Chain A
Amino acid sequence: MKARGILSSALAFMALVSVAGKAPAAELEASMLANTCNGCHGPNGTSYGPAAPTIGGTNAAYMFETMIAFREGERPSTIMQRIAKGYSDEELKLIADYFAKQPFGRVVDQDTDPDLVARGKQIYDNLCEDCHEDEGMSAIDYPALAGQMMPYLDHQLHDLISGRRDLEKNEALSSKERRKKMRNLKELVETEGGDGVAAVIHFFGSKN
């Protein structure tokens, strides 16, 4: 288990502070809020592809942080920044907890190249395994990546490597975590070249 230091205290803080505005006429319900996501992300957050990520069965803290980062404009997106602005912290917490309880469905048989998958496995063992445990199947501390949509993984790695998605700004990670992730991404690009990125994507995409 890896500590996500800031995160747990942030969530504890959330639990204590009500962020709702004026008293609502009826109760908030997690499923009512979360179901509105399914139109783009699939039933219970299991995506049928090709690109929209599966959000069911993901890590609750990660999803909550991600939605906050979208809302605050700290993480780039096409549409999610616009959508995240529609929700309070309390609502995002309910949504994140709801999806974390759903299974991570791996329903799309994605096209992968066996040679790239094999190479991706080696890179994974070397650079990714410490955080994205169990060949990317685990969502205990970090988001599950195994069986995630390959175009989505490609977008994210592209944005992380280019700095468009700036890990330095990710306050949910400790400075140690940030440094490690930046170092590993740098190594992925420098030692493996462009094919290394593709290999990692094929490795995760091959899991179903």
Chain B
Amino acid sequence: MTNLSRRNFIKIGGAAVAGATLGLPHIARAAGGNVVIVGGGVGGATTARYLKLANPDISVTVVEPKASYHTCFMSNEVLGGERTLEGIEVGYDGLKSMGITMVQDRAAGIDPDAKTVTTAGGETLSFDRCVVAPGISFVTDGIEGYDEAAQEKIPHAWQAGPQTALLRSQLEAMEDGGLVVIIAPPNPFRCPPGPYERASLIAHYLKAEKPKSKVMILDPKEKFSKQGLFTQAWKDLYGFGTDDSMIEWNTFSKVGAINKLDAAAMTVETDFESFDPAVINYIPPQKAGKIALNADLADDSGWCPVDKMTFESSKHAGVHVIGDAAIATAMPKSGYSANSQGKVTAAAIVAALSGKEMPQPSYVNTCYSIAGTDYGFSVAAVYRYNAEDNTIAGVKGAGGLTPVDASAEQRKREVAFAHSWYNNIRKDTWG
């Protein structure tokens, strides 16, 4: 299906909906149409809010099992002891106050033909448009000794909340001189700079409280996001590159791939080496959230192909997939991406439900990392939709990284802007 015909399809589909509403005025349905959103994270909540802001007549229902949400962003500050777990928790009153219906349940199935979402509790919700924003799921097989149950001893802390609290408590309990092993995931994964910010902020905590301890990153990748900036920060703050470095980065090509994780003995075995850490933070390889996999929205890669202008699934019409679960070409799997995609998707749905053509989409990603006291940096990008090859590409010459030689004052300001980013994106997403 070409993009031109996709747009026509939406137009016709929207006109058909409008026609049906006119023809059958007594059927109880929202004047603006029904949208069911699976997932109350950044993508889902942003879409819900921006749908309501654009047209209060659209009925918006969000299906989310948790009563509140812990943001993954800034959860590394919780691990570093700079922020409480409550400081990354956000409730749903802001969405409810806009007239958005929260269904506290797990979505069990999506039927794109019948246009229904069924919940684990047995509720059936009809939709004109569905938005699936389930985030990620973990690949837990392939390593001896590791499964979902092992996560109670070897936290991933890559979905914030209890896992963040567990990893923090392990860091608090470990003795000075202990080793913290962070096993980073292969691409693509949620929050590309996240493992390296995590290593930084754990080192920040250890430097102050347990200075004989070390953080070792084991990495399947040969390079990583913001590498030059992190490396510089580690040199400036944690002795990186010296014998006394508090952070060590080892690639699988050097130490071997992970073969075995023993949660009882707390050991890590690779092809060539064996480690005896006090704390293991294994961040597993990732795929789209389970509901997206179960609803046949993912392709062989484990992620969901979409129309890059509307985020409508390439596999099932009327269903949109956004955030970490979606394949969004150049956009990273980040909170800001999910927020930006939620706004584009809301505009696409508003247009489709009213039989109009949507405006040109505009997308942005802005991502801050904090490496230590007064030490922040960022990456930004402005993206355009390319209809010819259905891609989202960064505008040439725009965006990019904080310069490696930024002044101390600039780095300090970036921390203040990182905290502002946090407060503002939270408010923009959940109200």
Contacts and interface: CB of A to CB of B under 8 A. Distances in A.
Given A25-B387, A78-B402, A39 B424 contact: yes
A27 B428 CA distance: 24
Given A32-B347, A51-B416, A39 B336 contact: yes
Given A39-B428, A51-B420, A25 B360 contact: yes
- A29, A32, A79, A155: most-surrounded residue (chain B CB, <10 A): A79
Interface of A is mostly: loop
Contacts of B344: 32
A26 B421 CA distance: 30
B98 to A, nearest CB: 12
A25 B384 CA distance: 12
Contact of A35 (B343, B381, B399, B423): B343
Interface in A16-51: 24-29, 32-33, 35-43, 47-51
Contacts of A25: 3, 360, 385, 387
A39 B399 contact: no
Contact-size category for B = 35 or more
Contact of A36 (B358, B363, B402, B424): B363
Contacts of B423: 42, 47-50
Contacts of B385: 25
Interface residues of A, number: 34
Interface stretch (A58-66, A83-91, A116-124, A177-185): A83-91
Contact of B364 (A43, A83, A149): A83
Contacts, number: 125
A79 B416 CA distance: 12
A164 B427 CA distance: 32
B311 interface: no
Contact of B410 (A36, A49, A78): A78
A120 B416 CA distance: 24
A106 B364 CA distance: 25
Contacts of B56: none
B427 A28 contact: no
B362 interface: yes
B397 to A, nearest CB: 5
Nearest to A76: B410
A78 B360 contact: no
A115 to B, nearest CB: 25
A39 B336 CA distance: 7
A51 B417 contact: yes
Which of A28, A32, A78, A87 has most chain B Cβ within 10 Å? Answer: A78
B420 A32 contact: no
Given A40-B420, A52-B424, A79-B366, A26 B357 contact: yes
Given A35-B50, A39-B364, A47 B359 contact: no
A148 B40 CA distance: 31
Contact of B420 (A36, A50, A83): A50
A79 to B, nearest CB: 5
B343 A42 contact: no
Contacts of B428: 38-39, 42-43
A82 interface: yes
B380 A79 contact: yes
A86 B360 contact: no
Contacts of B395: 85-86
B161 interface: no
A41 B343 CA distance: 15
13 contacts: A32-B343, A35-B50, A35-B343, A39-B336, A42-B423, A43-B424, A51-B419, A51-B420, A79-B414, A83-B398, A85-B398, A149-B420, A155-B413
Query: Which 7 A-B residue pairings sit nearest by Cβ, starting from the closest?
Result: A86-B382, A29-B359, A52-B420, A86-B398, A51-B416, A85-B398, A36-B364
Given A25-B385, A83-B382, A155-B413, 6 more contacts: A36-B340, A39-B340, A42-B427, A52-B424, A78-B413, A83-B366
